[in-house]
Structure 1
Amino acid sequence: MADVTIYTTMMCPYCHRAKGLLQKKGVSFTEVDVGMDADKRQEMMKRAHGSHTVPQIFIGDKHVGGCDDLYALDHAGKLDPMLAA
């Protein structure tokens, strides 16, 4: 199973939705709350090539994008193979 990291904030509904999909699939993930941590937010932005909105999701070293991108991968049948790698 691939390592999954999701950068979030506490009150973000898209973050909760993305985490819900991952949980439904039985995927464990590392959550990094960037809400009150400027250093972690800068880390996220660097990894996400400047993207500053949350969530920002990574499967292994691959930047997936946000919640809509995660769901699009799932609907296209591409998410499960990425998670299995």
Structure 2
Amino acid sequence: AHAIHPIAALQTEYSLWSRNAEIAVLQATRELGTAFVAFSPLARGFLADGLQEVDSLEPKDIRRNMPRFHPDNFAANLTLLDTF
């Protein structure tokens, strides 16, 4: 795409929980001079310490379908949050 028209910015999820951008995206944006915009840097609210129970999410909240927000995984992750 960049060969056809310069890409000014790329936005993708990037946080302590979601680091896939480190595989090749960050390097590519550096090489192309493209701005990198982190999406959800607070791990979809988890690192903001605002969500204590998955059940408090709205029924159609996309996080309900993510493995890291599955009640068992979420409970385990909460125990790590205080240490972090």
Query: Which band: TM-score by shorter chain?
Result: 0.3 to 0.5
TM, length-normalised to structure 2: 0.33
The higher relative CO (CA closer than 8 Å, separation ≥ 6) is in 1
TM, length-normalised to structure 1: 0.33
Bigger Rg, which one: 2
